Amino acid sequence: MVSPEWTPRILSLLRIITGLLFLEHGMIKLIGFPAPMPGMDHLPPLLLAAGIIELVGGILITLGLFTRIAAFIASGEMAVAYFMAHMSQGFWPALNQGEAAILFCFVFFYFAFAGPGEWSVDAMRRGPSRT
pLDDT of the residue at 36: 85
Q: Outline where the chain has alpha helix (H).
A: 7-31, 45-63, 67-81, 93-96, 99-114, 121-126
d(CA 80, CA 129): 36
Three-class DSSP category at 89: helix
pTM: 0.91
Per-residue pLDDT 10s for the chain (131 aa) are: 778 899 999 999 999 999 999 999 999 999 999 888 877 778 899 999 999 999 999 999 999 999 999 999 999 999 999 999 999 999 999 999 999 999 999 999 999 999 999 999 999 999 876 54
- The secondary structure of 93-130 as a DSSP string is HHHHT-HHHHHHHHHHHHHHHH-S-SSSHHHHHH-S--
Q: Are 72 and 53 in contact (CB under 8 A)?
A: no
